Structures are given as structure tokens and as C-alpha cells.
Amino acid sequence: MAGPGRGADKSEGATTSVSERSLFADVPHAEPLPVSLPASHPGIQPLSPDRAAPTPAPTPGPVIRFRRQLSHLSPSGIRNSVASAAGLELDRGVAFLLVPVFLACGVIVYFSLAVEPDFAQPIAVVVLTALCAAVTRSWRKTHLCFMAALLCALGVLAAKVETWRVGTQMLGSEIQTQLTGRVVRLDQMANGRIRLTIDVMSTARPTLRYAPERVRVSARKIPAEMTSGSVATGYVRLLPPTGPVRPDSYDFSFDSYFAGIGASGFFLGNPKIVVSEDAPFAARLSSSIEKARETIADHIRDSIGGAEGEIAAALIVGVRAGIPEEINESMRRTGIYHIISISGLHMALVAGTIMGLLRGAFALVPDFSSRRPVKKYAAAAALVSIAAYLVFSGIVVAAERSFIMLAVMLVAVLFDRAALTMRNLTISAIAVIVVSPHEVVGPSFQMSFAATAALVGAYAGWSDYRADKATAPPQRRSTIAFVTRKLAAGTGTIAMTSIIAGSATALFAIWHFQRVSPLSLFANLAVMPIVTVVMFLAVVSALAMPFGFDGPFLYMMGKGLTAMIAISGWISERSPVDAVGLISLQSVLLVTVALVIATMATTWLRLAALPFALAGLLTISETRTPDVLISEDAHLVALPIGGGELAVNRVRSNEFTTDNWKHALVSATIVEPETFEKGDVRFDIADPADLPPGAPFYCTAGLCLARHPSGAIIALADDRKTARPACAFADLIVIDDATAYYNPCRNPLVLVVTKRQLARMGSAAVFFDPLSATTRAEIRFAVRQPYRPWHEQRRFSREARGLPPYRRAERPKKPAVQ
């Protein structure tokens, strides 16, 4: 017979959903509940009849309540309220959540320095702040301030250590040489060429004294038997890594330095395979993995074919160089390009598929699953699966970061901890910052962690809301109603996920790429269900591939990708906005502060994010758009001429550069120059006033002229001699000649930019004064001096040294035999 304690035990053992935040929830002051105790309880005397019960306190009137509310609005009341909320935040562990924030601040400080610091400087700051933090442990506020400073100093030191550890040898000047090296990776490009990443073994004709250790070159054709690990040789033209195409733009030299790529270029002929000695174990292991990736990618391409096969290869093994550019562009315009890059979405889908399949299989054996922690078994298998996925996807930085984030969550499942928490995201961020500090200043890190933090914070807030809200037991519904409700809930989840992640990353995308995808919500709603099915088929096909049963799954995967491409193209054609221009750095920093506060705070202090967010939105447009952009090789000059048109001085210009300039200057159309023969009466340099404002470049005899809508005249000359006549009327003169040591103009109001200056300090942006035509134009270069390690090679180029382009000496002709 069940005793009275059995029911109590049953109620105590009931499973409930407990939020971590509810353990520290604010509990309002309440009246004590009446407790009835038996009269026979020892030590407690019953209330005597002649003793009156205590009179309850009278309820305060409206005047008293109003005065109490006013007292909270006083400076002392606000101070006490803030102190109480801050104390509660510290008790909930917000200090640990801020560790990667301050580490990242230190990393950003390091990469923003004008001069490369010595090791002694950051080490001294770390030691000093650590001592101050240890001494001030008794003063909590002061101790926290010194701990924040210590974390920033550690971020600076971590970035300095990585820069020293990488130490990539960069090529200083363009050169042609006979290159022999071991192939590390092969990529089939969409234009038909093959891109090879090669570890340099030797150079000849000429022998490079400071040869880079790794280069990336392309070839029209390679031997069929060439694979990763092969030793290739051929005559190549090597180019040093370039800088930003405009100030505050993507820096190829920075990325190449930390990727270990010291030069890029192309084979002047087809490379050949040579026989060499056995490679080291690490090289053999890496080549084996790359061969497996190439084999799998070729099998996928042959099974699916077309652009769908290229996308499938990108999703499974991370090979995406062969995707046609028009498809890449349509996915960028619709905001679904994140599908191509192996990141958290793909890792989560792979782990979720593996866990779902295994738990379903365990459910078929109820006797085993009821006695064993099958959830942990599934999590361990998922961890191994995503580790294999990371290896076979090429271990790119985005996939590596996503693996760390998901691995922390799966390990939390193994130890019976909550998986999706801000603490786990913090651990992942700390790991990434320590391993690759340079990623902090890149778009991948910023957008990934911003989206994840926003989603985790929103999920935690929604869980708290659901926990506090009393819900009635679910009603019995018909099958149709049940399916409809689930579909609506799934659609709403996808929509909210897209809105939250898109809002958190929008400003970072605009800052780095100067573009926005207004229809990304609709595109993600339409595509994400397809992508989920496609990734499920990708996992199943990968599991069935060793047994030769992957054909049907790859076929269905291809059909899903066909639908995704069609939807992306249809929405891309109807996207009303693409380029949005430049925004201020101040705006990005303010919104970042707002995002940190909103996602990490759990009390009313999260309202402090509103003024930062508002200030960030109000300062978006506080940046000045350049009037003229100049490439670092002095070959290309562009200026907006109104009506969404961008005038350039060359008929065939660099496509990447012009696309970047179009988005930065909010231009939709490239206007090519008009060329005139020498002596043509329609082009008279003696009367430049005839140049209409906002007209394209007019070029003749080594000189191009254009007039900015503000009235300023821009001249581009091939040499100093050609530029001299333009000194009489031009406001800006660009001389495409590195030997032009001195300014040919004696007028201080004329701004002259030479090829030598651009070679030393990178691309340039020029600003005219719209209020005064007699004021010298202002110029800003992309690279500052003294050089940081990733720009050190610039000083060694022929152009930077004021030398003309290298020309091979002609061999003397042999005298004719009489």
C-alpha cells in the first residue's frame, strides 16, 4: 500500500524545464505565507486567547507610492539600481562572457597600431596589469578594471605572437623564374584554369635569394597524373601580394601573410611532373587527404554535373572554386551565399543528422536504449563526424571556427551540461582568438559570432519568457491541424532566425562589402528547407559512398540544388537594392557595443544597448565618399560622374577592382573612355574648359582628361613630360611612371601622384573641396608607413625604388658567316 511519502516522492521527481537564468532571477519582496503547525510541536506554544494577533501594515496610498517611485529616479536611486543590477549580472557570470570581448579589443588595438611594437612592450604591459589586478583584489571595481586591461594586453600579445610565428616570406617584386615545388592543393576554376598551391623547393634562372615558401599559381593545363603531393616544375611569372584596392578595403597582402602565401602568379607554359625524394610524413599525410578530397570532388562532379555538381562538391568537401561567377553573384545579392561556405550551418546540419540517425537506430532497440546513455553516444559520434568533415573540407578558417563552437556544445552534452548557452559560445570565441587572432578583424569572425550571439541571446530570452508564462496543456488536434501548426512553427522559426541573424550582421556586411540583400528574408525562407534536405542527402551520400550506393542520394541532391539555383536567380533579378556605399567606422563600433550589451545582459541593463544602437544608426552616413579612386599600380583611375555612372580611364579594367569601386561609390554602370587620335580637333588640350563636368575620360597621346562634377579636372599621364602641360589647368595629375622623382608642376595647388608613391603607400582616395575650387585636393593612401610585417615587401619593388619595368637584355646577334 502506498504511503503518504510516495506521492511526495513522485512529485519531487517530476521533470521540469529549469532555465539557468532563473536560478538568479529577481524575486520581488512578498508577504510571508501563513504556516500552520501542530499545537503539540515541541518548543512552540499556541497563541493565547488574550494575546492579539499582530496588525498587518497598512497599504500605502497613491501619494506614498508616487514618492517612492520618484525616489528611484533620483541620482542616488539610479546609482543604487545600477549597482544592484550590475552585481546581479556579475553573479550570473557576465564577467566570463566579456573575456573574449576584451581579448578581441586588444587584438584590434594591435592591428590598428601605426608602428610594429617589440615583444618587450606588450609583455611589460601584461606583467604590469597582472600585478595591479593581483594587488587590487580587495577592491572589486578597481580589480575588474585592471582585469579588463589585462585581457586587452593579452589580446595584443596574442596577436604579436601570431605575427611573429607566421613570419611569411613575401615576394618583393614581380619576376619570372623556373619554379620547382610540391603541389599542396589543386582547384578547378570556373574559367577552365587550374589553380595550384605549391610549396617552393627551388628556383632557377634566376635563383631567388629570398624565395617565398609557398605560392599560388594558375595554369591552363596540367598533366592528368598530377595530384596533391606531386612535384611540379615550370617557368612562372610571380607577383607580390597586392594591397587594398582602396583605403579601408580588403587587404590581400594581410590575408596572404597569415595564410602563408608569399606570392601569386601563373605558369607561362604547362607545368611538368618531376621525380623527387620521399616527402616528409606531414607532407605525405596532407597530400593523402587532398587526394581523397580531389577524388571525392571528381566523383560528385561526374555524378551530378554542371553547376549543381560544383555546389555539391563545395558542400561536401569544400571545393568551391569551380562555381560559376553568375551563380555566386546571385547568391550574394539574395543573401544566401553563406550556404556555400562551410560554416556553423553545415556543421550543425551534419551533427544533427548523425545524432538523429543514431538516436533513431537506438530507438529500435528499446532494451539497450533504456539502459544506456544513447544521447551521449550519438553526441560522441557527431563529434567524430564533424571532425572528419573539418578535415575533408580543407580546414579553412570558417570551418575551423565552426568546428570549435560545435565541439564545445557536443562536449557539454557529454558532461550533462546545457549545449546552447552563451558560456559555450564564449569558450569557442576564446579558442579562436588564441589560435588565430588575425581573424578578429575579418568579416568571417565578426559576422559569424555576431549572428550566433544574437541567436543564443534571443533563444535564452524566449526560454525565460516561456518559463515565466503559464501554459495550458495542449489540446488534442486532428492530423491536418497538427501538421499545419508544425509547418507554421517551422516557417516562423526560419523567419525569426533569418531576421535576428540578418539584423546582427547587416552593418558588418555593409562595412566590409558595401552591399545589402533586402530580399534575404524571403530567399532564406524559400531556400533553407531545400538546403536542410540537401545537407541530409549529402551526409547520407557520404556514408553510402564507400559502398557504392551514393548514386540515388547524389541524384536527389542535384535536383534540390537545381531548385535552389532557380529560386536564387529569380529573387536576384528582382532585388531592388545592392550597393549601399560606405559607412563610418564609428557606426560599426557603436552597434557592436550595443550588440554585446543586448546579448550578454540579463537584467534591465540590456536597455543600455538602445542609445548605442541609436547612435550607431544615426552616424552611419558620417563618412565622406571619395571623389577619385586610384589603383596602386597607377593604371586605373575612376571618378563618379553622376547618374549612377563611374568613369574609368581604361577600356579593359580589372574586374575585381571596378566591382569594389562600384559598390563603394554606389555606381551601377562603368563608363569607358573616349579615345582620340593625335591631332583630332575634337580634343584640344589647350582649351580644357571645353570639358563638360561629369563627362567620361578623353584620352589621346599618353594623356587622359576628365572633369569631376564639382568642376575639378583630373589628368592621367604616361610620364612626367606628358604631364607637364596639364600643370596649367589640372587639379589632380596621376603620373604612371615610377622614374618621376620630382613634381613637374610648380603650382602648390596641383596635387601630383606618381607611380612611385602608389607603389610605396598603396591605392589612394582623393577628396575635393566642394566649397572652394582654389584649395588643394586631399589624398589618403591605403598603406601607412612605417610598414607593418605584412607590408614590408613593398619597399623592395622596382616601382618603390624608382626603377623602370624590368626588361630582359637582348642577346647580341651572331655575325653572319661569310
Judge if 617 and 753 occupy the same domain. no
- Average pLDDT estimate for 522-540: 89
- What proportion of the chain, given as a percentage, has pLDDT over 90? 40
Pair (784, 657) in one structural domain: yes
**DSSP alpha helix (H) spans, 318-442:** 325-334, 344-363, 366-369, 374-392, 397-414, 422-435
Average pLDDT of the segment spanning 392-418:
81
- Number of domain units in the chain: 5
Same domain, 332 and 196: no
Listed residue (352, 449, 455, 434) closest to 106, CA to CA: 434
Both 357 and 385 in one domain: the answer is yes
In one-letter notation, the amino acid at residue 163 is T
Do residues 76 and 128 touch, judged by C-beta distance below 8 A?
Answer: no
Give yes or no for residue 344 having a pLDDT over 80.
no
How many whole angstroms separate alpha carbon 512 and alpha carbon 337? 15
pLDDT at 66 over 80: no
Residue 40 predicted with pLDDT over 50: no
Q: What is the pLDDT confidence band of residue 48, given thresholds at 50, 70 and 90?
A: very low
- Among 127, 149, 166, residue at a domain's last position: 166
Statement to judge: residues 222 and 239 lie in one domain: yes
Average confidence (pLDDT) over 487-492: 82
| pLDDT (0 to 100) of residue 8 | 39
What is the band of 67 on the pLDDT scale with cuts at 50, 70, 90? low
In the predicted model, what is the mean pLDDT of residues 191-206?
A: 92
Angle at 220 (CA atoms; ends 215, 225), nearest 5 degrees: 80
With 90 as the cut, is the pLDDT of residue 278 above it? no
For residues 689 and 663, the answer to whether their CB atoms sit within 8 Å is no
Burial of 582 (0-12, 13-18, 19+ CB in 10 A): buried
pLDDT at 42 over 50: no
Would you give the DSSP letter of residue 579? B
Residue 669: name the closest of 579, 574, 570 by CA. 579
Residue 24 has a pLDDT of 41
Domain boundary among 166, 186, 221: 166
Tell me, what's the pLDDT at 1? Answer: 41
Facing residues of 630 across strands? 637, 764
- Residues of the chain with pLDDT > 70: what percent? 86
Q: For residue 386, give its domain range.
A: 297-444+518-573
The reply to whether 259 and 384 lie within a common domain is no
The answer to whether residue 762 sits within a structural domain is yes
Residue 69: band (very low, low, confident or very high) from pLDDT cuts 50, 70, 90: low
Side-chain-side CA neighbours of residue 782 (13 Å) = 28
Is 662 in the same domain as 763? yes
The contacts of residue 87 (CB under 8 Å, 6+ apart) are none
Tell me, yes or no, whether 23 lies in a domain. Answer: no
Distance of CA 58 to the CA centre of its chain: 61
DSSP codes, 477-531 = --HHHHHHHHHHHHHHHHHHHHHHHHHHHHHHHHHHHSB--TTHHHHHHHHHHHH
Q: Is 672 exposed, middle or buried (0-12, 13-18, 19+ CB in 10 A)?
A: middle
Mean pLDDT over the full length of the chain: 84
Could you tell me if 646 and 505 lie in one domain? no
pLDDT of residue 242: 92
φ, ψ of residue 101 in degrees (nearest 5): -65, -45
Q: Is residue 709 situated within a structural domain?
A: yes
CA–CA dist 402, 432 (Å, integer): 10
CB 452 within 8 A of CB 429: no
Instruction: Give me the mean pLDDT over the 231-259 stretch.
Output: 94
How much is the pLDDT for 494? 80
Looking at the fold, whether 450 and 498 belong to one and the same domain comes out as yes
pLDDT band at 537 (very low <50, low <70, confident <90, very high): very high
pTM > 0.75: yes or no: yes
Lowest mean pLDDT among 138-152, 251-265, 475-489, 740-754: 475-489
Residue 217 lies in a domain: yes
pLDDT band, very low/low/confident/very high, at 687 (cuts 50, 70, 90): low
Domain boundary among 554, 573, 592: 573
At residue 6, does pLDDT exceed 70? no
Q: Are residues 669 and 766 in the same domain?
A: yes
Q: Taking 70 as the threshold, does the pLDDT of residue 606 lie above it?
A: yes
**b/e map 287-311, b = 16+ CB within 10 Å:** beebeebbebbebbbebbeebbbbb
* Burial degree of 160 (CB within 10 A; 0-12, 13-18, 19+): buried
Is pLDDT above 50 for 378?
Answer: yes
340 located within any domain: yes
With a cut of 60, say whether residue 43 has pLDDT above it: no
Q: Is residue 651 part of a domain?
A: yes
Answer yes or no: do 562 and 598 share one domain: no
* Closest CA relative to residue 406, chosen from 356, 448, 436, 374: 448
CA distance 794 to 430: 33
User: Is the per-residue pLDDT at 19 higher than 80?
Assistant: no
What's the pLDDT band for 776 if we cut at 50, 70, 90? confident
Within-domain flag for 67: no
pLDDT > 80? residue 10: no
Q: Are residues 664 and 759 in the same domain?
A: yes
Mean pLDDT of 184-194: 88
pLDDT per residue over 425-478, tens digit each?
A: 898 899 989 999 999 999 888 988 898 889 888 888 787 777 766 566 666 767
CA dist 179 and 35 (Å) reads 89
In this predicted structure, what is the pLDDT of residue 647?
A: 93
Q: What pLDDT is recorded for position 774? A: 59
